[in-house]
Amino acid sequence: MFPAECRFTKDHEWIRDDGGQHTVGITAFAAEQLGDVTYVELPEPGSRLSAGDTAASVESVKAASDVYAPAGGEVCEVNEALDGKPELVNQDPYGEGWFFKLSDVDADELEQLMDAAAYEQFVGEHSE
């Protein structure tokens, strides 16, 4: 149900190793809970984030939520397409709906995050 190549946080972000750089977004579960996304605020390219820092925010007609950095690193690219097409977050959360990319990510920090099976169980426990 959730992509095996990603790691997940309790705040419903995913992070994926894309060959040196790490791509970050929010999970399909988070996008579904938010409803139609209307606006995404992204971090400044070049900014340094620690794990748990507020990195971005996402707004829907229902609510506005912060998106946290799943791991520390430097923001090397942001998904500018979300500026005009925030619906990509709902349509393709693990693909075109990505938020930003991090370089210099510490592999040890990733180890502490949930894998797909653990996240699926976590969502199951919290969605009733």
Partner 1 sequence: MQLIFEKSRPGRRAAQFDALDVPEASLPPALCRAEPAELPEVSELDVVRHFTQLSQQNFGVDSNFYPLGSCTMKYNPKLAEAVAAYPGFSELHPHLSTCPAFRGLCQGALELVYETEQALAEIAGMRKVSLQPIAGAHGELTGALLMAAYHRDKGNAKDTMLVPDSAHGTNPASAAIAGFKVVQVASAADGTIRLDAVKEALNESVAGLMLTCPNTHGLFEPRVREIADLLHESDALLYYDGANLNAIMGHARPGDLGFDVMHFNLHKTFGTPHGMGGPGSGPVGVGERLEAFLPGPRVVCEGGRYDLETPAKSIGKVAAFFGNFLIAVRACAYIRHLGGPGLKEASENAVLNANYVFARLKGTYQPAFESGFMHECVFSAAPQAKAGVRALDIAKALLDYGLHAPTVYFPLTVRESLMIEPTETESKDTLDAFCDAMIEIAGKAESDPDSLHAAPRTMPVGRLDEVRAARQLDCSC
Give the binding range for partner 1 (CB under 8 A) out of 10-18, 33-41, 68-76, 112-120. Answer: 33-41
Other residues' Cβ atoms within 10 Å of the Cβ of residue 102: 23
The beta-strand segments (E) located in 27-99 are 37-41, 48-49, 54-60, 64-68, 73-78
68 CA to centre of own chain: 8
- Shortest gap between Cβ of 9 and partner 1 (angstroms)? 16
- Shortest gap between Cβ of 62 and partner 1 (angstroms)? 4
Beta-carbon contacts of residue 110 (< 8 Å; ≥ 6 apart):
7, 15, 17, 22, 70, 71
- Shortest gap between Cβ of 21 and partner 1 (angstroms)? 29
CB 87 within 8 A of CB 37: yes
- When binding is defined by CB under 8 A, the residue of 25, 43, 70, 86 that contacts partner 1 is 86
- 59 in contact with partner 1 (CB under 8 A): yes
- Shortest gap between Cβ of 52 and partner 1 (angstroms)? 12
- 41 in contact with partner 1 (CB under 8 A): no
What's the rounded Cα separation, in Å, for the pair 119 and 107? Answer: 19
- 63 in contact with partner 1 (CB under 8 A): yes
What is the binding site for partner 1 (CB under 8 A)? Answer: 33, 36, 38-39, 59, 61-63, 86-87, 127
